C-alpha cells in the first residue's frame, strides 16, 4: 500500500505531481511550466497555479508522458565536496550523480547540506513529505556532529542554547552536548530546527571558532548508521512509518528565527505605545498608568542578562532547552 502525507484522489498542483513522479523538484517543475514544456491533455500549461488529476489527465513534459509512481525514499551518506542539488553540475559532483542509473525516477534531496559537510541526506520523490521535513516551521530536528579546532567552554554552549543573532534573526540550538574536549579540539553534538544557510558555522564563528568537520547524524527519527561514504539504501518500512508519523504530527508554525524577529518587533511596538501613553498623561498633569517609564540602564543597555548553568561529568556536558 502506497503511503503518502495527503489523501489520494482529486486535483493536485502540477508541480507537486511532477515532483512526486521524480521529474524535477517543485521549484524546477515551476520553471518547466513557465517555459512551456508541460502539457495537460494536449494543451500547453505555462501559468501558475495549475492543477491536474493524476487519475484522469494525461501529462507530458517535453513530449514524454509522465505517469504517477509510488514514492521513493532513500537514505544517503553524503561525502564531502558533493553538492546537495539536482540542478546543473557546474563542474561539481551532485548527490543525484550518486544514484543508480537504473532508477525509474530521480529522487530529490530534502533540504540543504553544505558541500564541505557530510552525512545523512534524505532523498525522495514525495514532494509533500520533503517540504515538511525541510521547512523549519514544522520543527523536524536535525542532529550534527561538529569538530572545532579550539576549546569550547560550557559558557559558549549556554550562549548558543540561548541564541545567537544572525542576519536572518536569532538562531539557537535546541540541544548541545560537548562529547569530547582536549587542549585544542572540541567535538560537539548540536540539534537544530532551522535551516539557515551555514547556521552552525556562523553561530560558532560569533565566538571566533572555525568548524573543521560537520556531519549530519540524524533527521527526525532517521539515524545514519551502517552506510559507507557515498552509499545509499531505501528506508525500511519501520523507518518510513516513523518518519511519516513524525511529519504528520509536526506542529506548523513560524520558524524560530521569524518568531524571534516578530517578538522583538512586538516588544518595540509595546514600548512605543507605553511612551505615547506616558507622554499623553504627563501633558494632562497626570502620572502615567502602571508607574513611571524608566530609560535603559547606562551599563546594561536595558537588556536583562541571562545566566546558564551546565552540569558536567567527565568529558560530557549537556545543555537542553
Residues 241 and 119 in one domain: yes
Residues 161 and 42 in one domain: no
Yes or no: say if 144 and 189 are a contact pair by the CB < 8 Å rule.
yes
- CATH number for the domain spanning 58: value is 3.10.290.10
Residue from 20, 114, 126, 194 carrying the catalytic annotation: 114
Residues 38 and 129 in one domain: no
Query: Residues 6 or more apart from 93 whose CB is under 8 A from it?
Result: 81, 82, 83
Global pTM value: 0.66
Residues 57 and 150 in one domain: no
Residues 47 and 173 in one domain: no
- CATH number for the domain spanning 196: value is 3.30.2350.10
Residues 87 and 41 in one domain: no
Active site residue 97: no
| pLDDT tens across the length of the chain (321 residues) | 343 444 445 789 999 899 878 788 888 999 999 999 999 999 999 999 999 998 899 999 999 999 888 889 999 999 999 999 877 877 889 999 999 998 878 899 999 899 999 999 999 988 889 989 988 888 899 999 999 999 999 999 999 999 999 998 899 999 999 999 988 899 999 999 877 889 999 999 999 999 999 999 999 999 999 999 999 999 999 999 999 999 988 765 554 544 444 444 455 455 545 555 555 544 455 444 433 333 333 344 444 444 444 443 444 444 444
Yes or no: say if 246 and 220 are a contact pair by the CB < 8 Å rule.
yes
CA distance 13 to 31: 14
Amino acid at each position: 500500500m502506497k503511503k503518502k502525507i495527503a489523501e489520494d484522489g482529486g486535483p493536485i498542483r502540477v508541480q507537486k505531481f511532477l515532483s512526486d513522479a521524480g521529474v524535477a523538484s517543485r521549484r524546477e517543475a515551476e520553471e518547466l511550466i513557465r517555459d512551456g514544456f508541460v502539457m495537460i491533455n494536449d494543451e500547453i500549461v505555462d501559468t501558475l497555479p495549475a492543477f491536474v488529476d493524476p487519475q484522469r489527465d494525461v501529462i507530458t513534459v517535453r513530449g514524454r508522458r509522465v505517469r504517477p509512481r509510488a514514492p521513493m525514499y532513500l537514505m544517503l551518506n553524503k561525502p564531502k565536496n558533493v553538492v546537495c542539488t539536482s540542478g546543473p553540475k557546474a563542474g561539481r559532483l551532485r548527490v543525484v550523480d550518486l544514484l543508480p542509473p537504473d532508477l525509474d525516477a530521480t529522487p530529490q534531496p530534502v533540504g540543504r547540506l553544505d558541500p564541505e559537510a557530510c552525512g545523512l541526506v534524505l532523498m525522495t520523490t514525495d514532494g509533500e513529505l520533503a517540504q515538511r521535513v525541510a521547512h523549519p516551521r514544522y520543527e523536524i530536528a536535525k542532529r550534527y556532529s561538529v569538530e572545532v579546532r579550539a576549546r569550547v567552554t560550557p559558557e559558549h554552549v549556554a550562549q548558543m542554547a540561548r541564541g545567537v543573532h544572525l542576519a536572518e534573526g536569532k538562531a539557537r540550538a535546541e540541544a548541545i552536548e560537548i562529547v569530547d574536549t582536549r587542549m585544542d579540539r572540541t567535538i560537539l553534538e548540536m540539534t537544530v530546527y532551522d535551516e539557515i544557510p551555514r547556521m552552525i558555522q556562523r553561530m560558532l564563528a560569533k565566538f571566533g571558532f572555525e568548524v573543521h568537520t560537520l556531519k549530519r547524524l540524524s533527521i527526525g527519527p532517521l539515524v545514519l548508521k551502517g552506510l559507507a561514504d557515498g552509499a545509499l539504501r531505501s528506508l525500511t518500512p519501520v523507518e518510513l512509518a516513523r518518519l511519516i508519523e513524525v511529519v504528520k504530527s509536526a506542529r506548523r508554525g513560524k520558524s524560530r528565527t521569524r518568531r524571534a524577529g516578530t517578538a522583538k518587533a512586538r516588544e518595540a511596538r509595546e514600548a512605543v505605545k507605553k511612551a505615547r501613553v506616558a507622554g499623553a498623561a504627563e501633558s494632562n498633569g497626570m502620572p502615567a498608568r502602571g508607574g513611571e517609564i524608566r530609560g535603559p540602564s547606562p551599563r546594561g543597555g536595558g537588556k536583562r542578562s541571562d545566566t546558564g548553568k551546565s552540569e558536567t561529568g567527565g568529558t560530557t556536558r549537556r545543555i537542553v532547552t
